[in-house]
């Protein structure tokens, strides 16, 4: 049998390997000059005029962001049910309560109508998730936030590079934006993340809290003129700093983000072209085709496919193709369901989506031949199973 095609694969070149080796030889492993450089370059990628604070995961970054805006016990933070548990767990870290709203059935992003309806006197903030790499309706969300005096922290784990009205996510008018550099994300350092904010107060708090609540970080301490042993603890902070080894990877990955994005976009367009006549709904496309980061390519199997989502995934695996599901929505996980008494009927769109979605392999090292094999496996599975069906209007209308 030909080689297994994984769902995702990081794209690490000689440049990254060289940079890591140099860092290992440099004598500085933890947060230091490479991390400073990574932060500078990341801010520059976003056009400057912003603070970029490297952390050891997006989960850590989201935690620091909700801490920095002052979320605490009794507060409510609104997010979407259709996300990874990290988005909501950080709200619980602060002793606050997440309030889950349903998704827009087309984009799988937070439904602004549901958001407005979920606001109570306890609501303090909103965490939209740019699902799959497509931006939420940030005009609507920011408008609600301004009218109701709420903070906005974007979970941008999928959104490098994503744009909204030609502006990169990370430069929109929100309080903070958090990116993930987890192994499967569009920029991968294994583990890592970045908190981006134009608010100097938030930046200062995140910088202090990511390293034990110490008022100066180790690099500053060991390179400034003051004696290295002099520092002050101003809060019971966390241990969320990014290592220079990871940052060395990040610096090289960041140089390739545009090229990676172009490849992801080509792969997405090839899927669109090859799958549009099958009994499935293709992922939505923004009006500007370059606006989508294409972290994920998520199809929805129609009933007429004649095969369940789980059977489809099993058959793909048997034919040597890895897939995934993003996500089992949070209201179906025991902790969230039982803690907040959540029922599937409260989230009809997320529940319905969950039963039909499959994330297809999409990664920059995927060759056209790899993708052709994925496509032919899909066609052969659905060719055997499907009943008469009509091509979904949205697929036919796809301008590809």
Q: Min. distance of Cβ 157 from ligand PLP in angstroms?
A: 3
Whole-angstrom Cα distance, residue 399 to residue 314? 31
**Closest CB to ligand PLP among 84 and 271?**
84
Whole-angstrom Cα distance, residue 173 to residue 144? 13
Binding positions for ligand PLP, rule: CB under 6 A: 57-59, 83-84, 86-87, 129, 155, 157-158, 180, 182, 193
Q: Min. distance of Cβ 326 from ligand PLP in angstroms?
A: 7
Which one is catalytic: 36, 151, 185, 216?
Answer: 185
Q: Min. distance of Cβ 155 from ligand PLP in angstroms?
A: 5
**Closest CB to ligand PLP among 154 and 370?**
154
Q: Min. distance of Cβ 226 from ligand PLP in angstroms?
A: 33
**Closest CB to ligand PLP among 319 and 353?**
353
**CB 63, CB 240: distance < 8 Å:** yes
Please enumerate in sequence order all residues whose Cβ is within 8 A of that of 143, keeping only pairs 6 or more positions apart, or say none: none
**Closest CB to ligand PLP among 98 and 193?**
193
Q: Min. distance of Cβ 156 from ligand PLP in angstroms?
A: 9
Whole-angstrom Cα distance, residue 303 to residue 348? 17
Q: Min. distance of Cβ 87 from ligand PLP in angstroms?
A: 5
Using alpha carbons, select from 35, 323, 285, 6 the residue that is nearest to residue 162: 285
Using alpha carbons, select from 204, 231, 222, 183 the residue that is nearest to residue 31: 222
Q: Min. distance of Cβ 158 from ligand PLP in angstroms?
A: 6
**Closest CB to ligand PLP among 111 and 315?**
111
Is 256 a known active-site residue? no
For residue 245 the two structure tokens come to: 């080894």
**Closest CB to ligand PLP among 185 and 261?**
185
- Tallying the residues shown for the chain, one arrives at 400
Please enumerate in sequence order all residues whose Cβ is within 8 A of that of 44, keeping only pairs 6 or more positions apart, or say none: none
**Closest CB to ligand PLP among 186 and 395?**
186
**Closest CB to ligand PLP among 87 and 142?**
87
Which residues are designated catalytic? 185
């Amino acid at each position: 049998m030909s080689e297994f095609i994984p769902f995702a694969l990081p794209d690490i070149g000689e440049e990254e390997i060289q940079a890591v080796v140099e860092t290992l030889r440099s004598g500085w492993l933890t947060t230091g000059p490479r991390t400073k450089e990574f932060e500078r370059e990341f801010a520059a990628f976003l056009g400057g005029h912003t603070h970029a604070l490297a952390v050891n995961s997006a989960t850590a970054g989201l935690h620091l962001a909700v801490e920095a805006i002052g979320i605490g016990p009794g507060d409510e933070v609104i997010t979407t049910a259709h996300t990874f548990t990290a988005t909501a767990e950080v709200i619980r870290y602060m002793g606050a309560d997440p309030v889950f709203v349903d998704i827009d059935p087309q984009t799988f992003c937070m439904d602004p109508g549901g958001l407005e309806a979920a606001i109570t006197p306890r609501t303090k903030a909103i965490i939209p998730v740019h699902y799959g790499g497509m931006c939420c309706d940030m005009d609507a969300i920011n408008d609600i936030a301004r009218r109701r005096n709420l903070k906005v922290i974007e979970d941008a784990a999928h959104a490098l590079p994503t744009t909204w009205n030609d502006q990169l996510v990370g430069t929109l008018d929100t309080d903070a934006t958090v990116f993930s550099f987890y192994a499967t994300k569009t920029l991968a350092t294994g583990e890592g993340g970045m908190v981006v904010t134009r608010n100097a107060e938030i930046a200062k708090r995140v910088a202090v809290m990511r390293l034990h609540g110490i008022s100066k970080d180790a690099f500053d301490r060991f390179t400034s003129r003051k004696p290295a042993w002099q520092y002050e603890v101003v809060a019971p902070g966390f241990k969320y700093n990014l290592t220079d080894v990871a940052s060395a990877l990040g610096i090289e990955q960041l140089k390739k983000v545009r090229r990676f994005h172009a490849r992801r976009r080509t792969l997405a367009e090839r899927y669109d072209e090859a799958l549009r006549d099958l009994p499935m709904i293709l992922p939505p496309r923004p009006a500007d085709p370059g606006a989508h980061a294409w972290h994920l390519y998520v199809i929805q199997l129609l009933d007429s496919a004649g095969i369940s989502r789980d059977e489809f995934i099993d058959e793909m695996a048997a034919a040597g193709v890895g897939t995934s599901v993003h996500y089992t929505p949070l209201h179906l996980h025991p902790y969230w369901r039982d803690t907040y008494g959540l029922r599937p009927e409260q989230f009809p769109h997320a529940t319905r989506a969950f039963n039909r979605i499959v994330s297809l392999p999409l990664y920059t090292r995927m060759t056209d031949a790899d993708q052709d094999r994925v496509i032919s496996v899909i066609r052969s599975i659905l060719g055997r199973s499907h009943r008469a069906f009509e091509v979904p209007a949205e697929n036919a209308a796809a301008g590809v």
